[in-house]
Amino acid sequence: MDGKDKQTIIDEISKMVAKDRSFTINHKNKTLAIVLPVKDYQKFQSMHEARLIALKSELNCTLELIRRYTGHESLAEVESRLAALRHTIEQEMGK
């Protein structure tokens, strides 16, 4: 990619950013990046976080139900797996 190609790419990115629109950056028929306006990214991130919170809540309810009705020892492996899943969800949430 020469200097002219780079400048063309920069010019196109600048135009799209000024229009506050999503766009992709492609090179040789391969998508290198998808660029979102900040408001769209924040909306996406908010929906993703809300989904993770809902999953964590559901997981906690399920785990509590298992503990209440079956006892800790009989489903120790299931509890362990559910706890590991909760840990994964929390990591994705950044907590």
User: Which of 27, 28, 45 shows the shortest CA–CA distance to 36?
Assistant: 45
Q: Are residues 30 and 54 in the same domain?
A: no
Domains in the chain, number: 2
Q: Are residues 10 and 28 in the same domain?
A: yes
User: Which of 45, 65, 41 shows the shortest CA–CA distance to 53?
Assistant: 45
Q: Are residues 31 and 65 in the same domain?
A: no
pLDDT at 80 over 70: yes
pLDDT at 78 over 80: no
The range of the structural domain enclosing residue 20 comes to 3-35
User: 33-44 pLDDT, tens per residue?
Assistant: 888 888 888 998
Residue range 38-52: average pLDDT?
A: 88
